[in-house]
Amino acid sequence: MSRQTARGGDPRKVNGELFTLTYGALVAQLMKDYENDEEVNKQLEKMGYNIGVRIIEDFLARANSTRCNDFRDVAEQISKVAFKMYLGVTPVVSNWSPAADEFSLLLENNPLTDFVELPEGHDALIYSNILCGVLKGALEMIQMDVDVKFVQDQLKGDNITEIRLKFIKRLEDAVPVGED
């Protein structure tokens, strides 16, 4: 065939594209089904949570990462390993709270919002809210209750996307013995 060989782009880029486009179509569908943006945010978080509780096992099985003994390790693992592995980007960890129980992930480019232009009148929508759910679900499986939310979003005109993680408590009861 006259066309070049590697048709359709390299696999890694395509995976990202397929994920981004499917996610976009999902958000668009949710916005048709649910009138207010808060409900859409909730649905996205819920879906993210369901993914998080499963993807953590894939992450732990695949990347033989060490035990996270404190929140700094967690930040390191999330940004340097997990984000790189699954989204191909490495967010910068910064804005540590004095008690080192809160930090931010700064994303130069958020792969989920590659080509997205929000329609007017949807300021309450948190487009990439699924990421918060994934992080919450995953960390809960390793006995960490965290609060995750977007504080800055390039989609809304901010010059960087910032996800804020706050350590709330260790989930004592769910702690599988031996890891306490």
Tell me the site size for other proteins, rule CB under 8 A.
61
Q: What Rg, from alpha-carbon coordinates, does the chain have?
A: 18
Quick one: which segment of 26-34, 95-103, 151-159, 161-169 binds other proteins (CB under 8 A)? 26-34
User: CB of 168: closest distance to other proteins in angstroms?
Assistant: 18
Residue 140 per-residue DSSP state:
H
Binding to other proteins, residues 147-176 (CB under 8 A): 174-176
Rounded distance between C-alpha atoms, residue 177 and residue 2, angstroms: 62
Q: Are 155 and 127 in contact (CB under 8 A)?
A: yes
21 lies in the site for other proteins, by CB under 8 A: yes
Q: How many residues does the chain have?
A: 180
Quick one: which segment of 18-26, 99-107, 150-158, 160-168 binds other proteins (CB under 8 A)? 18-26
Q: Are 68 and 96 in contact (CB under 8 A)?
A: no
151: closest CA among 92, 89, 82, 105?
Answer: 105
User: CB of 180: closest distance to other proteins in angstroms?
Assistant: 7
Quick one: which segment of 44-52, 98-106, 147-155, 160-168 binds other proteins (CB under 8 A)? 44-52
Give CA separation, 33 vs 30, 37, 43, 50, in Å: 5, 11, 11, 20
Closer to other proteins by Cβ: residue 13 or 95: 13
Binding to other proteins, residues 49-108 (CB under 8 A): 50-51, 53-58, 60-62, 64, 67, 85-88
Q: Using CB under 8 A, which of 76, 96, 102, 141 touches other proteins? A: 141
